[in-house]
A and B are shown apart, each in its own frame.
Chain A
Amino acid sequence: MGAACTSVNCKSQKKHGAPGSAQVHPIIKQKPEEAPSQKTLQIGYYFQATELRFQDNDEGMKEKLDKWLYAVNYQTNKQKVQPSLENPESRDGQRLKEPVEINQGPPPIQGIPVKKSLFQIVRVKPDAKEWECEFILSKAHQENLRTFHQDHSSEFQTMIKDSSLPQFRWLSWKLLLNVDAKVIQHEPYEVWLELGETNKGMKKEIAKDIERTFSTHPFFSSQTNGTNGSKALHNVLMAYSAFNTKVGYCQGMNFVAGFILLMSGGNEEETFYFLVALLKTQDGPPIMDGLRGLYKNCFPLLHKYTSYFDEQFSTHLPRVSSKFNTLQIPTLLWLTKWIQTLFLYSFPFGVCIRLWDMLLSEGTQFVFAFILSLLEHLQEKFLHCEDLMQVNGIFKELEEKTFQNQISLKLEPLIQRGLYFMKTMQSFQVYKELNIQKNKVKEPRQSGVSAAITATHRDQ
């Protein structure tokens, strides 16, 4: 490992030493500077717009849009300087029709007056509703959103919790995880990619799963997108395996990375840094538990999470929990998929997008709060079960029905219920501390191990 690190430094020095040459590794399709183009934003936008359609909740959309309009014009509002807008006609645009100027609604944040906005949205079709329109998210708007996030982080989180809008979601998610900082802290993406490519064994292992990751989605399907989608996913996973050799590659990460790739509009580099940020420990807000522990050898975090969840399960849903105990349902059997793929294995994208809104604004704790909410929703069914097979059947039925969009699953009320559990349940952080203390008292000699665990949990 030591040798590998040296070579990274070595290579990066070379790269940094020749700034003018701007060499791009041949396996990267696009130059990083060009990557976050309007086009990729649109792909990400359309991905979400399609996936979220079935939720079709128009209520309060206008109000939500107003809040977001305020945020992306934040600096403008504050300093009364209007952001310069590029001409939308010049960009990729069969779909782009006449730009329509709209007036902004009332200010969402008290005390700060809003002037008329020059924010431009473009109607996709003549009768499109406001939230169906495409946004021209200029650099200035992005900067504004950034500043807004800095100044009003809790309002920002609330806006995402209340349902982010597809136009702003990717940028917002990046802000929540402070992804930009990761870009600066670490070696450039190309370096990791290049290093990853040297690991032939890893390459084979990852290749096995690429064609089995969301293979029917047009972005990953070879029929509709050639090798573009699969190559991008392959690259991101290879780069990450080199970036964190303790994690390498673990099944489950393919779904997580694939989903991020879709959200980003197919931007490899941004996906990579987002993945890095997502799997890191973050003291918050939002508090992120260092999800890479779900993928390391022996799955340290998965085991801790399972014990933790069992405790919460028996506290908050004692009837179901004792039923599961009686029927000897192994928690790992059904919990592993949900946790290790952050719901992506079991639920359709539209559901996952909303769950990730919550995960990224509330922190990893939300995962467990939502699972409690889900189990509570199904509890009557579970209580009638007579054996392991029936219980497993209910889990499968839930997943299948959700995929067929026969949603008996009313997502937003379940999320709200999850937020209730968030408030009432013991947090994982507290649980972890208590357990470490408990063991210290029991076996004082092991305190060294506790320290090691804490350290391991936090490193990288």
Chain B
Amino acid sequence: MSKKQFLKMVILGDSGVGKTTLLQQYVTQKATGNSKPTIGADFQKKEVMVDNQQVNLQIWDTAGQEKFQSLGYAFYRGADSCALVFDITNHKSFENLAMWKKGFIENASPGDVNTYPFVVIGNKLDKEVNRQVTSQEARQWCKDNGDIPYYETSALENISVDSAFLEMAKTALKRGTQNALFSLPESIGGAGGAIKLNNFEDRGGAGAKGGAGKKKKNGTCC
């Protein structure tokens, strides 16, 4: 089995929890700590060895503001693994993990949810003094949500960043990839990259009140 493997991974979580910095640290081994808020989505690539196997990772970073959720999901589809990130100094960001997870499951068609390789990351360990979420509390949540592996990291000081991403890659490989790398879903595929709803009217209608019928509360207004 010397064939190259591809994995698509996504990082989700509230605005400002450090998603971009985590990715920056993991891919380039340095983090400035003053990244800009991510607009829309972006991705980075990295080659790693997992169990003597070369793996190409494509890691998607997304905007964290709730408004952007509906936009982001289009990029997540077919992801082999998903990191749910919160900031240990911000309890609200921890409470929102459930929302991110639910949104991901509903929109990214991850297959069997129970075996899906999620990882939870509590970031900003360098700000331990301001901690609002205890490790115990976080571990309990992970346990209640299907024994999700939990990592506490500092993206800024490069603590446990590698191991968290490696865990994602390992579990994803074990489960088998969804071969998602270059096949973006039709909904955003091609240069016709708008999230394709039926027609122009529908798109506008979703923006206009009383246009397309409202469904799902979870930030997916479109």
Contact = CB atoms under 8 A, between A and B. Distances in A.
A115 B191 CA distance: 57
A205 B67 CA distance: 11
B208 A340 contact: no
Interface size class of A (residues with CB under 8 A): 35 or more
By secondary structure, the A interface counts as: helix
A315 B199 CA distance: 20
B195 A303 contact: yes
A457 B204 CA distance: 9
Interface string B65-80: 1011011001100000
Interface residues of B, number: 47
A252 B184 CA distance: 25
Nearest to B43: A392
Contact of A452 (B38, B184, B208): B208
A277 to B, nearest CB: 22
Nearest to A307: B194
A398 interface: no
Contacts, number: 163
A216 interface: yes
Given A389-B58, A453-B204, A306 B40 contact: no
B34 interface: yes
Given A293-B207, A330-B193, A388-B182, A250 B201 contact: no
A140 to B, nearest CB: 42
A304 B206 CA distance: 12
B176 interface: no
Given A313-B191, A324-B191, A328-B184, A254 B37 contact: yes
Contact of B194 (A310, A328, A345): A310
Given A332-B195, A452-B210, 6 more contacts: A212-B34, A298-B207, A299-B207, A449-B211, A452-B205, A453-B208
7 contacts: A251-B15, A251-B38, A310-B191, A328-B183, A388-B182, A435-B200, A450-B201
Nearest 6 pairs between A and B by C-beta? A300-B207, A331-B193, A336-B40, A453-B204, A330-B193, A306-B194
Interface of B: 15-16, 34-43, 45, 58, 63, 65, 67-68, 70-71, 74-75, 182-184, 188-195, 199-201, 203-211, 221-222
Interface of A: 205, 208-209, 211-213, 215-216, 250-252, 254-255, 293, 296-304, 306-307, 310, 313-314, 321-322, 324-325, 327-333, 335-337, 340-341, 345, 387-389, 392, 435-436, 438-439, 442-443, 446, 449-450, 452-453, 455-457
